[in-house]
Structure formats: structure tokens, C-alpha cells
Structure 1
């Protein structure tokens, strides 16, 4: 453990009162929710650093990776991990396969897409979380490094997500998966998972058996609600989210495309069962709730949870925020149930 990580982890072991004292003394309250003290401390520290919007995407990727390395937990020891290459929409993609060590035969599968606004992130971004999903949900997870903007604009990431799911379905035996294959991801990854579920159904193809949507982007034209009330809460402020969208879309008109804003779909009947997760202190909270509600109205089975005291990106904070680790474990248990019907 490097010195910087040691300092951060030591500070985060302080009592709530001490952490709050270092961030102004009062718990942060928004929309009737109270932010976890450790999350509040991290948010306060993040607000002091230069915003990713002031960096070019390459520098932003490096800075984000460095910051997340201070907070994430250790990869679960009871899974075997293998880096592979799979075909994407326009060329090979890096991917990572997580398989429980005690597997004696094929297991249900999950094709996973990391967070990062379709601009930042890689296979390491959600490495620990993917290992938790594999172990607790007892499934094979294939995490995919889809193409990123602005080098690859919309709909490149969506096209790669579809290609990855199709590959898993066509090669399930080689991957150690049964035919029960779901999709999942957080933030941008949740958005991509919803797109895979919708687009495969429109095309009359094999669809995921479940969709795990963790604080997903569902409408790139969303306004109001948590978009306003949580606009200054790190790590995802409204300015940062708007920067991601501007980097990703070719033009503002793309936001009306169903492949950019799955909430705009008028018919969600027959969609795969869904696990929809939001966090209380998140600009994306209300559009995640809206998508869960739309799925329910269409007769889709939905498991919905809002972790009221957490903020965005908590899936990458399991080594520093106990409440985040507990949430991730609960999500993995939900996935276990969903993948088995």
C-alpha cells in the first residue's frame, strides 16, 4: 500500500464526527437524505481538486484511475481472472473474464460495462466489483472495455456493447456460461446495458435474461429533480455529466436517439427483468427512478433499490466506505437471484 493510500484509508477510519468536522461540521442533507460521513469527506476532498472538465480526456482518464485506486477494495480471491480479446463492432476489444474458482461446470453469465460517461474508465475501473459479482452471484462475468469518446463518438460504445453481448451468446460454452446471460453496468455501463436490452428485443434477437442497471444514464436531455438538487455533489456534478455528454454525442440532436436515451422509448413491454439501483446523492438518481417506474408500468419485473446515504460511483469505493461495500454485496445477491430466474 502506497503512502497516499495509507493516509486516505487511515483518515477514513476516523469516527463520523471527526470526518464531519473536517468538512464543515454538519452532515450534508439533500432531498431529505443524509450523506454517509465517509462519502461526505471524499466529496469535500474531490471538490478541492481540478474538475475533470478542465482536463483533456486522456489526462482525465489517468487522474480518475489514480483517484479510484485509493478507494477500491481488493479483488476477491475466490475467482479466477483471465484477460481476453473479443470482437467489437469495428475491431477487437479487451475484455476480462471472472469465474468462481469452485465452478464445476457452466454458470449463468453477465456481460458487464464499466462506468465513466463513455469517456473514461477501463477494465480496472470496476475490477473489484466484477470479482464480487462473480463470487457472490456465482456467475461468470465478462467485463468489456468498449470504445471511448471523444475518439469514438456515439453510437460507438452502444455498438460495442451489442457486439459484446452477441459474442457472449454465440460463445457461451467457451466462456463457461450457460444460456442464461444477463447484462449489467454502472452509470454509463447501466445505460449501455439498457440499450442492449432494448435493441436486441427490437431486432428480434436473443435478449438478456436480466439487466443490472446501477445509477444508469437513461435520458441525456433530463432536467429537474436530482439533476438540480445534487448538481454540486462529487464525484459526479452536473457540469461533469454535461461534459461527458458533450464528449460522447456527435451533436445535441443525438440525445433524442433511443440509443442515447433509453427512457424515451415508448414501448418497454417484454423487456428483461431488471435490477435498478440508484444512490441518494446523485444527479442521475431521478432518471434511474423514472426508468424503473416505466419498466414496472410496462409489466416488467423490477427490483429497485436506492442507497440513500451514498453518492455516485460507490461501486468503486468498497475498500474505503463500508456502506458502499455492503451495498455492492447486496446488489450481487440480487443478481444471483435474477440470473436463476
Structure 2
């Protein structure tokens, strides 16, 4: 199927704005460019409260921004932004975090994990798991009530969410009620990504290779399941998962392979591919019709988890 017309127009606007490709400029320069774009984005929905807290577990402080919607939260979502482990921040994902909180009726804790190449693997993993442990210990205090804990990640953030879920299982906790993985990266095996049959206009094979080099510069380390969760020794006893993939995305096969692996291990999985969509379409522009479909699907998944 061809690109969704809304998304095709958006890509044309990005090209006209001079959006740089990953690897075309250094990571700090890319962050500055994206920061300027983020500052022009419309504000997200109003919240009852928004506060910055410092999560700390194992000695490493991790900044977290907590969003509490105007209705009593049904759950607490730990959110990991995308950006190939090299770009993105709590500030730049502020609008999307607000949208999640408002549309799902859940509190959202957005994690400002450390970025590569200044902080290569496993720094982001350490931050993700530290934030998970801390928010599980302090969530009830912060919200004034206990809430089920869900993990949500986009792209590299979905990789961190999947990895943190595996680490929590292996450590005997914290308890996680569910995981939402939006176009996750799950393997270092480039051969698993078809070379010719996926038109991926937003993130290319060369860009993926550059991002891997920034985050995990030693290829020998890329088999570590904390980077490549598809290769974990076991995927049993994990919480239910919603895995969303895009037709026009090289990482589509990562997400679909992970969904199949979880299902084979007895995990409850809902997997959906969105025809016409590109990598990270939902967080790039939640106003797309395809983004609204994805938000509705996420809402149904969360409703089923929380309401039985």
C-alpha cells in the first residue's frame, strides 16, 4: 500500500524544513535542531498537575516528569521517548505525554534517560530500570493512591520498555500490568530486516546502522538481550503486550518477530500493523487519522487490562 496521504504530505514538509538525516550531523547538533522544532509544536492537553521529580535506584539519579490528568488516574504509565537512543527528551515529548495522560485517563511518568554517544549502552537501560524501580516504590505516594503500572515506549523507547520488562521479570519485580511497544527495535540482526520489500522513507538502513554505532559501538555487545530483547533466553511470564508496527518501516519486522516470540512463549499479545504508516507516525503527529486509530487501539488495550 502507498504512503498515507497525510503522512506523505508531512514528510514533504519535513524535507522542506531541512530535517537532517540521522548521521548527517553530529548528535548534539541534531538535538539542537529538533529542540527548535519541538518548541514550535502546539501544547498538549492541560493536566491537574505536572511536576519534575528525581528517580534514584542504585545510585543513579534519573529525571522524570510526572503528568496527572484531571480525572483520577486509572493507572500509571512509565513512558520512554524515541530518538534512536541519541536524541529526544522529556521536554520534547511533553505534548505526547500529556495526550497519553488525557486520552487514557492515566498518570504518565516520562523518563529523561541518558543519551548516546555521550552515554553509550547500557546507560539508557540502567536509567530505564532505575526509573521503573523508583516509580514502582513511590507511585502511590506521588498519586495519593496505588495504581497498576504500565510501560509504554516508542522506537528506542519501546526497546527500553521491552528490556525493562524482562529485567523486572528476572528480578522478581516490580510488577507490570502491561506493555505497549510502538515500532520497537528488538534485534541487532540486520539480516532480519528485508532489504528490498519495505519502502521506509523516514528511517533508512544507513540511519539504523549509525544509531547502533552511537549507542552500542562494540558490535560484539549487540547480542546482549539488554539491547536485543528478541534474543533473551526466555520470554515466558511477561505481562500482556500491545505491539504496533508500521507498513513503511524497516523496524516493522523487529516488532512482528517480537510479537510472535512472546505469543509462542504464552504471553498475551495484541499485534497490529498500520498500512500506509511510517516509523513513529503516532508520536510524530498524533493528529494523523492513522495516529487517532492507534490511540483508539491503545485505549482499548488499556481498558481490557484495567477493566478485565
TM-score under structure 1 normalisation?
A: 0.82
Q: Is the 1:276–1:303 contact (alpha carbons within 8 Å) kept by the matching residues of 2?
A: yes
SS of structure 2 residue aligned to 1:193: helix
Q: What is the Cα deviation at residue 329 of structure 1?
A: 4.0
Quick one: distance in 1 between partners of 2:301 and 2:113? 25
Change (3 A) 1:83 1:253: same
The answer on 1:207 being equivalent to 2:169 is no
Alignment deviations for residues 287-338 of structure 1 (CA, whole Å, 9 cap, x no partner): 1001011111111111112111211122233365333234234323423432
Counterparts of residues 321-336 of structure 1 (less than 5 Å): 321-336=288-303
**How many angstroms apart in 1 are the aligned matches of 2:192 and 2:276?**
20
- Of stretches 75-84 and 110-119 in structure 1, the one that deviates more from structure 2 is 75-84
Q: Contact conserved, 1:149 with 1:247, CA < 8 A, in 2?
A: yes
Q: Is the 8 A contact 1:68 1:316 kept in 2?
A: no
Residues 60 and 130, structure 2, Cα contact 8 Å, conserved in 1: no
Structure 1 residues 76-85 or 293-302, which shifts more? 76-85
CA distance in 2, matches of 1:182, 1:133: 12
1:186 to 151, 154, 157: 154
Map of 1:140 onto structure 2 = 107
Distance 1:195 1:53 in 2: 25
Secondary structure, in 3 states, of the residue corresponding to 1:309? strand
Q: 1:94 to 1:147 in 2, by over 3 A?
A: same
Cα deviation 1:40-69 (Å, max 9, x = unaligned): 123345456342312111111122233455
Correspondence 1:54 to 2:21? no
**How many residues are matched?**
305
Residues 1:43 and 2:5 are matched in the alignment? no
The runs of at least 4 aligned residues of structure 1 exceeding 6 Å deviation read none
Following TM superposition, by how much is the alpha carbon of 1:228 offset from its aligned partner in structure 2, in angstroms? 4.5
- Any conservation in 1 of the 2:177–2:240 contact (CA below 8 Å)? yes
Task: Tell me which residue corresponds to 2:188.
Answer: 220
**2:77 paired residue among 110, 119, 123:** 110
CA distance in 2, matches of 1:287, 1:128: 27
Query: Which runs of no fewer than 5 residues in structure 1 stay unpaired?
Result: 1-32
Aligned pair 1:246/2:216, yes or no?
no
Deviation at 1:146, TM superposition (A): 0.3
Deviation at 1:221, TM superposition (A): 2.1
8 Å Cα contact 1:231/1:239 also seen in 2: no
Q: Is the 8 A contact 1:181 1:339 kept in 2?
A: no
Aligned counterparts of 1:306 and 1:240: Cα–Cα separation in 2: 22
Within 2, Cα distance between the matches of 1:310 and 1:89?
39
* Aligned mates of 2:115, 2:58 — CA distance in 1: 13
The equivalent residue for 1:14 is none
* Equivalent residue number for residue 120 of structure 2: 153
Distance (Å, rounded) in 2 between the aligned partners of 1:125 and 1:334: 26
Contact in 2 for aligned 1:137/1:333 (Cα 8 Å): no
Q: Is the 8 A contact 1:226 1:285 kept in 2?
A: no
**Cα deviation digits, residues 247-276 of structure 1 (max 9, x gap):** 001401111001000001231111111011
Give the Cα–Cα distance (whole angstroms) in 2 for the partners of residues 38 and 89 of structure 1. Answer: 45
Return the TM-score normalized by structure 2.
Answer: 0.90
| 1:85 equivalent in alignment to 2:63 | no
Mapped to 2, the partners of 1:38 and 1:80 lie a distance apart of 33
Q: Structure 1 residues 201, 227: CA separation in 2 closer, same or farther (over 3 Å shift)?
A: farther
User: Are the equivalent residues in 2 in contact too, given 1:73–1:320 (CA < 8 A)?
Assistant: no
Corresponding residue number in structure 2 for 1:5: none
